[in-house]
Chains A and B, each alone.
Chain A
Amino acid sequence: MNLQTLIFQLLNGLVWGLILALITLGLTLIFGVLSIINIAHAALYMLGAVLAWEVIQYTSSFWAAMVIAPLLVGLVSVAIERVVLRPISGNFVLSILATLGMLFIIQDTVLATFGGGLQRIANPIRGTMSIFGLHYPYYRLFVAGVSISTMLVVWVFLNRTKYGLWIRAVKQDPQIATAMGIPVSIVYMSTVALGGILAGLSGVLAGPIVAIEYQMGLKILAYSFIIVVVGGFGSIMGSIVVAIVIGCLDGVFTTYFPASEARIMTLVLVSLILLLRPEGIFRARRETVI
């Protein structure tokens, strides 16, 4: 266990943390605006990766997949909101159960069409860069870059545009937002669409790094839940920070311990934080919504 391995694992953890941050960004947005823990989000992440694989089979272009797959996932997400979540808005137990049902439906649909085997997306950017005397693949750095810039775009969208202001207004108080003439129903729909697109994009980005299979969503389910809650319900900054911390912790622990022990230690540490500060590290304050 030398310093190089540690740096390598730390970098891996950082990249993985950024992917996790991108996944939970959508989850946090939806939670913040609709007060729903969307369990189907994990399936949407998986769907992003699977659709990317399918698109690559047809077009043999990763870049086409990176555009098409997230949009398709966004459409699925909107359908879920319209058909399933809309009629039960406000009931948190029912919304959890309904999105759980959607998770099963999406997973088994993928199992039926895509199959149960593992697939891999070929690495679109070959080559490695030498940092600290070790060779680090360019693609992972690219993932980190895309992840950070997507989060920046979302931040600008939420804080500097009219539609972002609408979303923030609905998040603060849907009733007053309605009274001010904001189309609350459309805001709900577009928030869920944005969440779906982000889940799909993170699935595409993770595609060349992890194995693609119909249950890959379940692997990030617990993590993404924890990040949303520990980050402070609905606080986007908080969830990004926690996602990166979790990724790095995982990276450091896997340097010294077997993978499963490392995950156990990360989860125990994070749940300790949750119990010490049940409201999360970054509590979403009313006046500064983001």
Chain B
Amino acid sequence: MPYRRQILWLFAGALLFAALPVVFGNYGLYLGSALCVWIIFALAYDLAFGRAGLLSFGHAMFFGVGAYALALLVLTLDWGFWPAITAAIVLAGAFALVLGKVALQVTGHAFVVITVIFSAILELVAFSQKWITNGEDGLSFDLYRVPFGFAELDLRNANTKYWVLIAALFLTFLMLNWINNSTLGLAFRAVRENPMRATLLGYPVQHYKLAAFGISGALSGLAGALFSLLSFHISAEVFQITVSINPLTSVLVGGAGTMLGPVVGTTFIFLFSDYLRTLVVYADFAIGVILVLTVLFAPQGIVGLIERIKARRRARTDNKAEASLSPNNESIAETRP
């Protein structure tokens, strides 16, 4: 995609976000804020899943660590916004590096399973060790003031919070876009598509996988920290495996390994299931159907589907152009066996 068009897309997206509260009022504000958090999480998840090919069922761990790190630092040490959110990112990233170091000893099915096991362990710990997490009841905290240059933002104002979240989403998007277009991003792709070849070419495959997992974990921690700011309350439920499945579904439906995929997928799933919940209770049923249909008919997701349709149309017009330009029988002769 040309650079100029990409910027156009970004502006269109920003406009859409700005329009949400205008059109839907307070409800749109709430919806848009939550959407920002889940898109950041999906973008972070896609770095591991879509780019480096690491299917993880354990990203709720990093999301949860980020959320709890922020809450606990604010509650016990009375930290401010910037140090707390930085610490949340760093802690979640470090945690991801440690777990990744262990889990990446194995590949394929075993890796998937080990992320499930780790996640199950941490979920049990979070629900049972009430002296840290306060279990299902959770922790409430206040972190309203965001020093910003000479000014100070007040997060109690839902509008301000919304714009802070949009800024975070924008920065995450830019950063991941930059990573994915850098040589690091290319190396991730090489590691995903052919680990053997990457090894033989001299790439330290293990290090690249770990790097992808670590950065993905750190940004998941950011998403978790921002999530805790949505209602200034978190509980052990952030560690549940369903939280890990959330970005996985979004990324798959939107299109894994693309920049727009996680954004489109999360928006689609989030708005869709939110709409469904107002109608029926059985939103999971719809999510299941969407998952199965995506796997069967559009494994490259919505973005991949659009690209495919575009490519087909382009091919058709190209063929027409070719046919009108060169009305000889050469092409027919070539296709003959």
Contacts and interface: CB of A to CB of B under 8 A. Distances in A.
B118 A271 contact: yes
Interface string B76-118: 0000000000000000000000000010011011101110111
Contacts of A84: 292, 295-296
A275 B105 contact: yes
B295 A88 contact: yes
Interface in B280-330: 281-282, 284-285, 287-292, 294-296, 299
B121 interface: yes
A90 interface: no
A97 B301 CA distance: 13
Nearest to B252: A97
A103 interface: yes
Contact of B288 (A91, A105, A260): A105
Given A101-B288, A104-B287, A107-B284, A263 B55 contact: no
Given A98-B296, A101-B290, A261-B128, A111 B114 contact: no
Interface in B122-150: 124-125, 127-128
B120 interface: yes
A264 B55 contact: no
A93 B282 CA distance: 26
B110 A274 contact: yes
B295 A98 contact: yes
Contacts of A271: 114, 117-118, 121
Nearest to A225: B113
A144 interface: no
Contacts of B102: 275
B109 A37 contact: yes
A264 B116 contact: no
B298 to A, nearest CB: 11
A87 B292 CA distance: 11
B133 to A, nearest CB: 12
B72 interface: no
Contacts of B248: 97
B117 A226 contact: yes
**Most chain B Cβ neighbours within 10 Å, of A87, A111, A263, A267:** A267
Contacts of A274: 106, 110, 113-114, 117
A264 B119 CA distance: 11
A81 to B, nearest CB: 13
A134 interface: no
Interface of A: 31, 37, 84, 87-88, 91-94, 96-98, 100-105, 107-109, 111-112, 218, 221-222, 225-226, 228-229, 233, 258, 260-261, 263-264, 267-268, 270-271, 274-275, 278
Given A225-B117, A274-B117, 14 more contacts: A37-B113, A96-B55, A97-B291, A108-B288, A109-B285, A222-B117, A226-B117, A229-B114, A260-B128, A271-B121, A274-B106, A274-B110, A274-B114, A278-B106
Q: Which 9 pairs of residues, A with B, have the shortest CB-CB distance?
A: A101-B291, A104-B288, A108-B285, A260-B128, A105-B288, A222-B120, A101-B292, A98-B295, A101-B288
